[in-house]
Structure 1
Amino acid sequence: MAPAVEERTVLDLDAAVTAVTAAALRPGPLGRVGLELEAHLVDLDTPAARVPWARVTAVLESLPALPGGSRVTLEPGGQVELSGPPAPDAGGAVAALRADRAVVATVLAGAGLGLAPVGADPLRPPARVCPAPRYRAMERHFAAVGCGGPGTAMMTATASLQVNLDAGPPGGWSRRVALAHQLGPVLVAVSAYSPLLGGSATGWRSSRQRVWGALDQARCGPLLGGADPAGEWAAYALSAPVMLVRDPDTGAAEPVLTRTTFADWVTGAAPLAGRRPTAADLEYHLSTLFPPVRPRGYLEIRYLDATPEPWWPALAAVTAALLDDPVAADAAADVTAPVAGAWDRAARDGLADAGLRTAALRCLAAALPAVAATLRPAVEALAELAAAGRCPGDALLAAARAGGPEAALLSATETPEVSP
């Protein structure tokens, strides 16, 4: 985006398109992997209650420096997110994030708290605990455009594993972005770990993906995978409704309660806040767009459910291999073509769907030779699960049948022992 000195420069349509297109994908070699993993925060004494915001922030302020360099942030429902820096490969990224999560989990356990990396909170109703004005404003926008319930659920009751990969050489961008989307339904099914939401079984293997599918698809739907992915991202961004407008002096965010596209704002067809947008407004607008694959110079793969060990390391390794290894990528492109676009089938049925199961097994087999030796046992375990037509979340359903949604949440909660 524009440098800081130009943030208040008023944009015209051509300048906005140029800025988004230029920032979408950054040329370079393939190989680096960054991981971000969210988890629901659980009070081990009262799992059915959300942890108050003041308690969350106080505990996290006591964290030491993390050995892998991860950044720790909080989501509106109190979910804890660890975002690792880019590593040379998936093995290094997993090792660093594991080390950092162990430190965070130990500190939280000392305060009676645990982390539950689950795609959707199986027990507690969606509710915001973060008081930040941005999230209050987001709730108001979602309600105004007709998806208030899914909007609150997305912000406060879902958690994901995000895999960040280099864009690679420009000559391969079109095929790479298209493949990242085409893999989506298969990897949604393979990662599905959210069969419950807010205390009830939903009938969907990935309730997280179901929630995202119920949101405004002009903001959260997939790109089309055309010949010019950077230009397509610019068209997507300019056609998406503006969610929030910040005061340029105070930074306070106000919700937009109409479906006003950024293009209409920038051309003056629909003025917002009595002014035209600046470069800073465009950058802020981009932060409110959530497609399943988001170009940010690199590629954010955003469609995987959060899962516990050993599944999240396996999913990270498989996703990177299927996109970065040329042999695995070619195989994945062929076997996923019949189920391209089957997002709802994947979320609802998971690997019980025969077509998705066939594609998943072939993808896992193609990825395995390209996976680091340290991660192969986890990938092999994932392949065995898939061969049986099962998803990681089937264990949550079993726990819920045996002991209810609270048992399901606790079964996925990491609680390392703490010395007295």
Structure 2
Amino acid sequence: MSETTVTPARPANDPLAEPIRTRADAEAFIAKICFKIGPPRLAGIELERLIHDATDPTRTLTSERLASALGRWSPPILTTPSADPTALGRPLPAGSTVTVEPGGQVELSTRAWGTFADCLAAAGTDADAVRAALARSGLAVGRSGIDAHRPAGRLVEKARYAAMERYFDRDGNDAGRLMMGSTASVQLSVDAGTETGEHAFAERWRTLHAVGPALVAAFANSPIYAGAPTGWYSTRQRVWIELDPGRTSAATAGDNDPREAYARAALDARLLCLPNDSDLWDAPAGVTFADWLDGALERPATYADLDYHLSTLFPPVRAKGFLEVRYLDAQAGDDWRVPPSVLWTLLASPGTRDAALAAVEPLGPPTWPGAWARAARTGLTDEALARAASALLTLAIENADAAGLPRAVTRQITAFAERYTFRRRTPADDQLAAAKDASRTHASENHASENHAEDHPEENR
């Protein structure tokens, strides 16, 4: 048996160590652990941020410098490849934890909070603490959903990340390396909901997908990669579209039973990597988890293997017991509060949810990749997307108090909408305008220099 198919040992009485007998058993397991049913109450936020040198954002970041800046909050793996890859540093002041993505992106993850206002407050406290620590080391937090200054590169030495890199490279494009090394998002996690009734999980699932393209367009903030415009308002979303359809697709969005659809999609996704005691986690090329169940590997798949496989899926909304919304670009400064607050409000009551669904109905179903690619490419220059996005932000503003949003955050959403959405603009437009101004300034300076050289040829002798 190949050592790359050896999963680290689990306790003998661990039910996850049991082999999976049939595909039906695997689907039942996925439905049970990915959609935990109950009244929706808890909220969590994850903030991914690109990190740059404060004076030269094109400068390559080192793991040692980042670890030094994060101090006691830094995960050990950042500087010690042999460390436990799941080990974390000390919690931030409000209890959030810090992880570091392959390219050095710093991710702050709050714990699950009983009110959304508490979740926002904790995320704000901890984001400020991280930003201040980085600033003391001459580092700055990025303002985009993709690295506008540097090409993709991997900073963290981790067996999983090395295997992922090789896996995506086999597909013959650079989307995998860009995803791992150059993208950043703001994510909201919410409870799945109840079996039936006004907070039925199927309706919450449908709503989060239906509003997705309009919100991708409204919060598009990644038009420039490594110094050059890409032609997309959300290049980050383009990366996910091109990455690996079986792993990133929103194909289960319109299914009447999300549990069954999600289970089918998960089993039909290719194996990304296989954890083991060596440094080589590569999975056999082209093998899906369903293939494994059918005997494609030398040992039977266990529930622990399936549990890990589920963590390697990256759809726009990931079911992890709760629902993790992953499709929104990171925002500049403190505007990170706006996207999760809008999403939270749109889900907060059946009336607001139904109004949100009505607002996006003219867009048609959120087909993958069509509807998502259209939003990422055009932003709010698309009239239908602009109308839908304006309606969604208006709903969020009008229903913010009922959803428990702090007044200061409601004002922030209003300011964002007035600055961008209601004017058919996105944060990406600011970046593109700044790049155009910089290009004109550079051209003007070059022209002035050439004229000076012609008028004073003696200075060049």
| TM-score of the superposed pair, with normalisation by structure 1 | 0.90
Q: Which residue matches 1:388?
A: 423
Q: Which residue matches 1:231?
A: 260
Q: Which residue matches 1:159?
A: 184
CA contact (8 A) 1:31 1:324 kept: no
Q: 4+ runs of 1 displaced by more than 4 Å?
A: none
Q: Which residue matches 1:411?
A: none
Q: Which residue matches 1:417?
A: none
Q: 2:239 matched to 1:211?
A: yes
CA contact (8 A) 1:71 1:82 kept: yes
**Are residues 208 and 308 of structure 1, via their aligned partners in 2, closer, same or farther at CA, if it must alter by over 3 Å?**
same
Higher Cα Rg: structure 1 or 2?
2
Q: 2:195 matched to 1:170?
A: yes
Counterparts of 2:337 and 2:20 in 1: how far apart (Å)? 43
Bigger shift: 44-53 or 290-299? 44-53
Q: Which residue matches 1:220?
A: 248
Quote how far apart the aligned CAs of 1:55 are. 1.9
Counterparts of 1:388 and 1:311 in 2: how far apart (Å)? 17
CA contact (8 A) 2:160 2:275 kept: no
Which of the numbers 15, 21, 37 marks the counterpart of 1:6? 15
Quote how far apart the aligned CAs of 1:72 are. 0.5
Alignment of 1:279-290 (within 5 A): 279-290=303-314
Which of the numbers 371, 394, 410 marks the counterpart of 1:365? 394
Q: 2:329 matched to 1:311?
A: no
Alignment of 1:94-243 (within 5 A): 94-147=120-173, 149-171=174-196, 172-222=200-250, 223-243=252-272
Q: Which residue matches 2:283?
A: 256
Counterparts of 1:279 and 1:25 in 2: how far apart (Å)? 16
Q: What SS does the corresponding residue of 2:286 show, helix, strand or coil?
A: coil
Counterparts of 2:156 and 2:391 in 1: how far apart (Å)? 42
Which of the numbers 49, 53, 62 marks the counterpart of 1:39? 49
Quote how far apart the aligned CAs of 1:86 are. 1.9
Q: What SS does the corresponding residue of 1:140 show, helix, strand or coil?
A: helix
**Are residues 62 and 45 of structure 1, via their aligned partners in 2, closer, same or farther at CA, if it must alter by over 3 Å?**
farther
Which of the numbers 421, 438, 457 marks the counterpart of 1:403? 438
Q: What SS does the corresponding residue of 2:14 show, helix, strand or coil?
A: helix
| Larger RCO (CA under 8 A, 6+ residues apart) | 1
Q: What SS does the corresponding residue of 2:50 show, helix, strand or coil?
A: strand
| TM-score of the superposed pair, with normalisation by structure 2 | 0.83
Q: Which residue matches 1:55?
A: 65
Q: What SS does the corresponding residue of 1:294 show, helix, strand or coil?
A: strand
CA contact (8 A) 1:206 1:347 kept: yes
- The residue identity in structure 1 corresponding to 2:15 is E
- The residue identity in structure 1 corresponding to 2:41 is G
Bigger shift: 14-23 or 348-357? 14-23
CA contact (8 A) 1:160 1:302 kept: yes
Which of the numbers 293, 309, 328 marks the counterpart of 1:266? 293
Q: What SS does the corresponding residue of 1:153 show, helix, strand or coil?
A: helix
Q: What SS does the corresponding residue of 2:128 show, helix, strand or coil?
A: helix
Q: Which residue matches 1:16?
A: 26
RMSD: 1.9
Which whole-Å deviations, capped at 9, do the CAs of 1:297-348 have from their partners, x for residues lacking one? 1110100000023422111110111122222111111111222321111101
Q: 2:360 matched to 1:332?
A: no
